Amino acid sequence: MMTRGRYEQVALLIMLVAEIPNFWSGFLPSLFTIATFSGSQGQAEHTKRWIRRGEMQAGGLSIGLGIGTSLLIGELLPLVATLAMIGYLAFQYETALRKGLSTGPGLDMTQPAPQQG
């Protein structure tokens, strides 16, 4: 049987893993948006630079939260779970970025939006 303290540790771990994607969505556009980027080589480099900057910022905050949670509950599991979630999210964002800049449908940011009529 789990003790009350153990339930609290599990609850903190669940909250930690659920919070990490929020950091990523705060610093980065959606996966769909990234996968639809297109443009010149200069625009592609600009996009990659800003996406990777967002990944670093979101990853840094995620690691900080993982370390804090590990210290709070006295176990390494939250930090390990944080690193696993960062790996998963980075894979997803990098895949979307590669697809958008190579084979994606593209979103020409220089053209005005179509008018609804």
In a structure prediction context, what are the per-residue pLDDT tens digits for the chain, which is 117 residues long? 667 778 889 999 999 999 999 999 999 999 888 888 766 777 778 888 999 999 999 999 999 999 999 999 999 999 999 999 999 999 999 988 888 776 555 555 555 655 665
Task: Give CA–CA dist 49/3, Å, rounded.
Answer: 47
Contact of 52 with 34, CB cutoff 8 Å: no
- Give pTM, 2 decimals: 0.79
Task: Give CA–CA dist 37/77, Å, rounded.
Answer: 37
